[in-house]
A and B are shown apart, each in its own frame.
Chain A
Amino acid sequence: MIITWSAPQSEQSTVPKEAHDSPLTLHDLQVALTTHPTYHATFQEKHFSTLLTKPLMTSGILTFTPPATMEKHILTPFEEIYVVEEEQVHFENPLKGISKTFFLDEHPLLQGISIGVRSALTGDFETLRHIFTLKVEGTKSQWALRLEPLDDSLAEVIDCISLTGHHHDITSINIHEPNGDYALMIIEKVAN
């Protein structure tokens, strides 16, 4: 059975006022995120690169189906689809006619991001702690989770992943690479 999340507004109203402002612990956040929901949202991503004079923009749809299927469907400026399922990735670029399936561990950056975001979405902090050091700040209504790679090989491609959120919703994902490049993704959930 799939539990569908309600819209953030209605959710907010059911949360007691005191809880909003008290400082958040990792445990609180884990409890908040452990509901294993289906997730359907739009995103806008800005890519900042030291090689470029201005950022690149992409946008599209993010979908998460528990327990481990994530889809990033880029719609503009070109269509591109990533489906991460367990340890496999299916990649499609209809324009170039590319459609291929490969394993996550062939692409360390994608692997780090996928495991980080997926584990955060499901509240699987156990897995997260194996790969990253975790730091949480803020309150339930406005939190930030910072993931820093433990492993040297992962640290070669990811400096840190910062997630911000609102209760059990993730509102942004910021990925910093060691070379100074970073990508900021703003997520807006779609009510369904």
Chain B
Amino acid sequence: MSARKWYGNPATLWFLLLTVLGCWALATTRVQTELSLLFPEGRTSKQQLLLNALREGPSSRLILIGLEGAPIDVLTEANRVLAANMQKTRDFVSINNGERANTGNEKDQLFRYRYLLSPNIKKARFTTHGLHQALANRLHELTTPLSSLLKSKLPADPTNEYWHVVQSWMTDTKPRIHKGLWVTPDRSRSLLLAETKAAGFDLDKQRHIQSRIRKAFRLTLSKDPTFRPIRLLLTGPAVFAVETERTVKTESTWLSLIALMLVAAFLVATFRSPTPMILSLVPLFSGMVAAVVSVNLLFGFIHGITLAFGATLIGVTVDYPIHLFSHLVDGDSVKSRIADIWPTMFLGAGTTIIGYGALWFSGFPGLAQLGLFAIVGVLVACVVTRWVLPPLIPKPFPTNRLGKPAIRLTHFFQRGRSLFLLLIILPVFYLGVSTEPFWETDIANFTTIPREEKELDRQLRQAMGAPSVRDLIVITGPTEQDVLGHSEALKQPLHLLVQQGAMEGYDLATRYLPSRKTQVSRQAALPDPETLKTHLLAAMRGLPFKKHLFEPFLQDVAQARMQDTIASEDFQGTTLELKLQSLLFKDKEQWVSVVPLRAVKDRGMISQWNDVLEDPRVFYLDLKEQSHDIIVTYRDEALRLVSWGTFAICVVLAIRIRSLWLFSSVLLPIAGSLLVVMALLHFLGERISLFHLSSLLLVLGLGLDYTLFFNRTVDSPAQRNQTVASILICGTTTILVFGLLSFSEIPVFRAIGLTVALGTLMSFACSAMLARNDVASRASLR
């Protein structure tokens, strides 16, 4: 090396380039963790809407907070203090604990607009007869303790419009109140509902907001010694997202640390030297850096899942240097060894690249990113092993001591060669007769959120009257008024569906905000001041009301006739703002009104109604079915691409090998191992998802690598021992890493880990079974 100038050394140049690239990647790479970025831009408008709702809907910004662990009076007090402390952070659009619902402003506003908002405004209501009936009712109510709060409004509102507005707005599940604040029905928890200014998917902001809530809570606890036993409960989509991110980060850190240690210990023990282990990392890190940089360059960001999944995928590139080290014998030159195994290594790497290349063509950003990541990573690692690594290997070479055990193991498997046919038949038979569902279709099973937390979320949601919805009717239109008018027209048919028992109820935006047209027609139903006065005086006859009691009523009606109509902006800062925002919003260029359906019993009846309606601007959405559709679409896309990848691999192999017999002895073990893995996964209760499928692609690549090396043309039995040992070492490291992953709590990690660990095991076993043990004849075949 001393004879060469430093810049003539490919390794030095490579390290320089790698350092620069690495620094650049660190500085510029944007890692995103938002799940919806992985999805395509919605195949159908329904899916698009669902994805948008997941991503940006106001409900994604809600944080549900519970306080528990002390008597309810203490919790209520603490709630008040916490709400005040949280208010100071300015992180929230609103903080609601029941208290705000009772503030004067909001009620004043409702009261002011009662003649435009009340669903009961009709001409008949203000005739002598109508008014007399209303007054008689009010008289009766004066004797009941139920209407005490309305009594003060009686002089201005004898027809009870305010009460009708409040009544029509009441959700059927409103929170219980204790001393003015929300509590759970069993009074064990005090409740708050906060809407963050930051979007639900903005995890960095959400993480900070949540830590500020915890800080506000600690500040609350320090305020009063009786608060000390109180516990804080947080749930909501953003809380789950932040928690998931943390779980993924911690788990992946731990798992990769342990895996690294296990693999390092194994390699050091095998080669009796740390050098191969350290040098094996060179191609891996090179591949990783190149992959991250290229994905970031092409997509503008790299998704967290791509990074985690991609890193495990190209983790197998440590196999390349291991193959090299395993084939080194003292007295040999590294150059000749690498040249010797290069064709096989390149064929293995090339087919893996082709397999992942298929993903690159996906219209799904998630799969495409993964494809690119794997192609670049594998290619770079392979090239680095070929040209950068050899000059770095010191002499004398560390040699492995697995040659003999590897051959014995191979012979063990080869004795079972006659059973190979069973490995094809049994899985096919088992998968054929099993009645358990094969595919994963429930998106809920992809989450890492523990069951108890989901249950807590459900409880708090129910107590706050914000139950999560599954069924929606969506109305779209060019303007807000258009959508409002449309949804007013739907009230009748929806009511009919309730009567027919298809569902228990629905929540229309127009319940809170009537269309301008409706408001104006209500104004028109109000009589002029003179007429109203005449009718009122006649209506009061025979009733013991004081003579001038209803002056405020006459004034208010006169005013309401001239009043501006109420619009969605008028709800700003009220508790209804949030409700209205979730029911009526602008989505890109169109207005959308969402009608949540309650307790749906007959989905068939509702979708039939929707079909008969034949209105493209109104559609029924079953969120569960839609998310199910998205998963299936994604999975089918993966399946399609994996099939194309497999086909491409076969074509390349066929061209390269040009021997039907050799071709089948390379492919048969792979087919066998894939089948057995599928059957084993199914047997273990796993439902096959996109992640299993992508992992199978990795298994395919590994399996090819093994069979190619098993079938490699060798010069001597000693060399054959080395080859088999190198496969064994590669297989063991892979099983160590992925076996560890299969113990993860995170479903995606477990899916990958289990599939690859089992796949590697089976690939080794099947390749060994069908490998030809006659070295001499193989050698002479060359």
Contact = CB atoms under 8 A, between A and B. Distances in A.
A180 to B, nearest CB: 11
A132 to B, nearest CB: 15
Interface string A129-153: 0000000000000000000000101
A52 to B, nearest CB: 5
B443 interface: no
Contacts of B254: none
Contact of A56 (B139, B149, B176, B180): B139
Interface stretch (B151-159, B372-380, B607-615): B151-159
Interface string B141-162: 0111110110110110000000
Nearest to B144: A80
A52 B146 contact: no
Interface in A1-52: 45, 47, 49, 51-52
A52 B176 contact: no
SS class of chain A's interface: helix, strand, loop or mixed? mixed
Interface string A102-128: 010111111001000000000000000
Contacts of A177: 148
A58 B143 contact: yes
Interface in B165-180: 176-180
A78 B140 contact: yes
Nearest to A105: B177
B142 A107 contact: no
B145 A54 contact: no
Given A157-B148, A181-B151, A45 B544 contact: no
Interface string B273-306: 0000000000000000000000000000000000
A51 B154 contact: yes
Contacts of B178: 105
A109 B145 contact: yes
Contacts of B657: none
A43 B544 CA distance: 23
A192 interface: no
A80 B144 CA distance: 9
A91 B545 contact: no
B544 A53 contact: yes
Contacts of B43: none
B182 to A, nearest CB: 11
Contacts of A78: 140
B26 interface: no
A107 B148 CA distance: 8
Nearest to B180: A153
Contacts of B152: 179
Contacts of B544: 52-54, 56
Contacts of B545: 51-53
Contacts of A54: 544
A74 B549 CA distance: 28
Nearest to A45: B143
A107 B142 CA distance: 14
Contacts of B142: 47, 49, 51-52, 56, 181
A93 to B, nearest CB: 9
B146 A51 contact: no
Interface in A72-113: 74, 78, 80, 91, 103, 105-110, 113
A74 B145 CA distance: 13
A84 B460 CA distance: 27
A189 to B, nearest CB: 22
B546 interface: yes
Interface string B406-433: 0000000000000000000000000000
Interface residues on B, range: 20 to 34
Given A56-B139, A179-B151, A181-B151, A107 B546 contact: no
B145 A113 contact: yes
Nearest to B155: A51
Interface residues on A, range: 20 to 34
Nearest to A53: B544
Contacts of A113: 145
A74 B143 CA distance: 10
A3 to B, nearest CB: 29
Contacts of A53: 544-546
Interface string B171-197: 000001111100000000000000000
Nearest to A78: B140
Given A56-B139, A105-B177, A106-B177, A51 B145 contact: no
B546 A110 contact: no
Contact of B176 (A45, A47, A80, A103): A103
Contacts of A51: 142, 151, 154-155, 545-546, 549
A183 B148 CA distance: 12
Interface centre among B144, B180, B544, B549 (most CB of A within 10 A): B144
A47 B145 CA distance: 11
B178 to A, nearest CB: 7
B697 to A, nearest CB: 58
A49 B143 CA distance: 10
B148 A109 contact: yes
Interface in B125-141: 139-140
Given A103-B176, A153-B180, A52 B546 contact: yes
Contacts of B148: 107-109, 157, 177
B179 A151 contact: yes
Interface centre among A91, A109, A179, A181 (most CB of B within 10 A): A109
Contacts of B154: 51
A45 B145 CA distance: 12
A157 to B, nearest CB: 5
A46 to B, nearest CB: 10
A179 B151 CA distance: 9
Interface centre among A49, A51, A74 (most CB of B within 10 A): A51
A23 B143 CA distance: 35
A80 B152 CA distance: 23
B163 to A, nearest CB: 13
A126 to B, nearest CB: 15
A116 to B, nearest CB: 12
Contacts of A151: 179
Contacts of A74: 143
Nearest to B139: A56
Nearest to B547: A53
A108 B148 CA distance: 9
A108 B151 CA distance: 14
Interface in B491-543: none
Interface string A151-192: 101000100000000000000000001010101000000000
A23 to B, nearest CB: 33
Interface in B429-479: none
Interface centre among B142, B145, B146, B152 (most CB of A within 10 A): B145
Given A105-B178, A177-B148, A47 B143 contact: yes
A106 B102 CA distance: 12
A56 B151 CA distance: 15
A110 B140 CA distance: 16
A108 B150 CA distance: 12
Nearest to A91: B146
A183 B144 CA distance: 10
Given A51-B546, A52-B545, A56-B139, A110 B180 contact: no
9 contacts: A51-B154, A52-B142, A52-B544, A53-B544, A80-B144, A91-B146, A105-B178, A110-B146, A183-B143
Given A52-B544, A56-B142, 4 more contacts: A56-B139, A106-B177, A113-B145, A157-B148
Interface of A: 45, 47, 49, 51-54, 56, 58, 74, 78, 80, 91, 103, 105-110, 113, 151, 153, 157, 177, 179, 181, 183
| Top 7 closest pairs, chain A to chain B, by CB | A109-B148, A110-B145, A109-B145, A53-B544, A52-B544, A54-B544, A47-B143
